[in-house]
Amino acid sequence: MARDTIGDLAALLAVARERSFTRAAAQLGVSQPALSRTVRMLELRLGVRLLTRNTRSVAPTEAGERLLQTVGPHFDGIEAGLADLTALRGRPAGSLRITSVEHATNTILAPALERFWPMYPAIRVEIIDDYSLADIIADRFDAGVRLGEQVAKDMISLRIGADFRMAVVGAPSYLA
């Protein structure tokens, strides 16, 4: 569907709801003659009269009413969706997926998230503990946390925790 058609349908919807080209033009921020021409061109493209006009009012024809009942709810849904997005403006929201190892989750990520969540309650964090080197892009992760040098060469790494020491302990007979 051409972008012009969507704009023309929005214009038709405004005229039908306002029952006036003048009020609809003011609402849309266009001139009344331009709006009238837009609706007339839509009617010519569709090959059917959509509005009945007289000097006092405007009303949809039967074809116009059918079209408005079909497209009106979709435009209402688009407007509601855009209004929902403006509620998110200025504050981060969404989801964050992280692949990690259990040690990093417990010692670094969990304490950081305790401070993070009160500041950003609209962000949902999902941490997947997995010791394999996941393909961050293919597995749709936003970030990965690994120990030491376990980072693929094409990834950017950033230290997020202090060094720690590990020791292997066992009976001499077992280690032999």
**Residue 82 neighbours by CB under 8 Å, 6+ apart:** none
Report d(CA 147, CA 131) in Å as an integer.
10
pLDDT at 167 (0 to 100)? 86
Predicted local distance difference test score (pLDDT) of residue 2: 66
Give first-to-last CA distance, the chain, whole Å.
74
Residues of the chain with CATH 1.10.10.10: 3-88
When pLDDT is cut at 50, 70 and 90, the band that residue 157 belongs to is: confident
pLDDT-derived band at 1, boundaries 50, 70, 90: low
| Predicted local confidence at residue 149, as pLDDT | 67
**Of 129, 128, 163, the residue nearest 149 (C-alpha):** 163
Give 90-162's CATH code, choosing from 3.40.190.10, 3.20.20.70, 3.90.226.10, 3.40.50.360.
3.40.190.10
The residue behind tokens 């839509």 is 42
CATH 3.40.190.10 residue ranges in the chain? 90-162
For residue 64, count other CB atoms closer than 10 A to its CB: 22
Q: CA 9, CA 3: separation in Å to the nearest integer?
A: 10
CATH match of 3-88 with 1.10.10.10: yes
CA–CA gap between residue 27 and residue 123 (Å, rounded): 36
pLDDT the model gives residue 111: 94
Tens digit of each residue's pLDDT (9 = 90 or more) over 27-56:
999 999 999 999 999 999 999 999 998 878
Q: Model confidence over 77-113: pLDDT tens digits?
A: 998 988 887 766 777 888 999 999 898 899 999 999 9
Of 64-73, 95-104, 127-136, where does mean pLDDT reach its minimum?
127-136
Pick from 84, 91, 89, 143: nearest CA to 120: 91
Please give the pLDDT value at position 29: 92
Instruction: Give residue 46's pLDDT.
Output: 92
Secondary structure class of 53 (helix, strand, coil): strand
Residue 11 predicted with pLDDT over 90: yes
- The whole-number pLDDT of residue 17 equals 92
Higher pLDDT: 78 or 157? It is: 78
For residue 40, the SS3 value is helix
Mean residue pLDDT of the chain comes to 88
